[in-house]
Each structure stands twice: as C-alpha cells, then as structure tokens.
Amino acid sequence: MPKNNELDESAFDHAQAERGRRGPRCRWELAMELPFNHWDPQMQRYDEYIRDAHHFLELIAHSPVSAKQAEALYPQIVAAVTLDEDVAKVAELKIAVFGDLAPAEIVQRMGIDAAVLETWEALFYDARQSRKHISTGRARSS
C-alpha cells in the first residue's frame, strides 16, 4: 500500500497516538469516521493506509460503478477486508501476530499473500509494537 518507503513522520506519530487510544483497528476505524465528499487538508496528518482505506470506503459508498473502481484501485484492501471476515483465520492470525511470528512465516504457514497480510495488519490488527509494552505477569521465584 505505501507508495514510497518514506513515511511522513507526523502521519506516523498521529497513527501511533491513535493506535494507543483506539486499539489495533484504529486505522480502519479512523477511515470509517472521516467525512466523505470533500478533501480536508487535515487528511495529510493520517498515514497512507488510513487515506487509502478512507478513499476505498468513500468509493464503495458512492455507487456500484465506484465500488468496482474501488476494487480495482485497492485489491489489497478488498482482500484484507475479506480476510478480516474469516473469524477462524483471524483468530489464528492474531495469535501469530501477537506471538511475534515473522510475516514471512505467517505467509508460508497460512498461505496468505504478503501484501494482503501487511494491509490486514495495518488496518485491522496493528499490534506488533503494542505487544512489546505488555508485561507477561510472570511471578518471580524466591
């Protein structure tokens, strides 16, 4: 999804703050909450995943013709949404991601396209960084 390797730092910081407040689905939730039908200069504060998801959602809400355009423009988002609807696979994915299994290993084990996995994680389960801040709660032995 990102069209270049450089991520705008302010967009990254904003996404990180929202993730902390909203949880691992923050990008998708933000994309759904942003208003349609006008360009807001504030959109630049969001990262490319949020902007693309917002545009995708705007197109599918507009008309059947626009929905076809959305599917053609954003095939990874379509596949990520479809994947997110598979409750059993999502449960496995969440365990793999939270367990810090490398994306390449998830792709190999679960047969998911790498770009789709990346998009799904970014939009629906952005938890890799968060897991580093959670205590395991293990008791110390005396």
Which residues 6+ apart lie within 8 Å of 30 measured at CB?
A: 18, 22, 46, 50, 54
| pLDDT band, residue 71 (cuts 50/70/90) | very high
Once rounded to an integer, what is the mean pLDDT over residues 41-47?
80
Euclidean distance between the first and final Cα of the chain, in Å?
50
Where are the chain's structural domains? 9-129
How does the average pLDDT of the chain come out, rounded? 82
Tens digit of each residue's pLDDT (9 = 90 or more) over 75-129: 999 999 999 999 999 999 999 998 899 999 999 999 999 999 999 999 999 988 7
Neighbours of 114 (CB within 10 A): 13
pTM of the model: 0.76
Q: Are 74 and 120 in contact (CB under 8 A)?
A: no
- What length does the chain have? 142
Residue 15 has pLDDT above 90, yes or no: no
For residue 84, which phi and psi values (nearest 5 degrees)? -65, -20
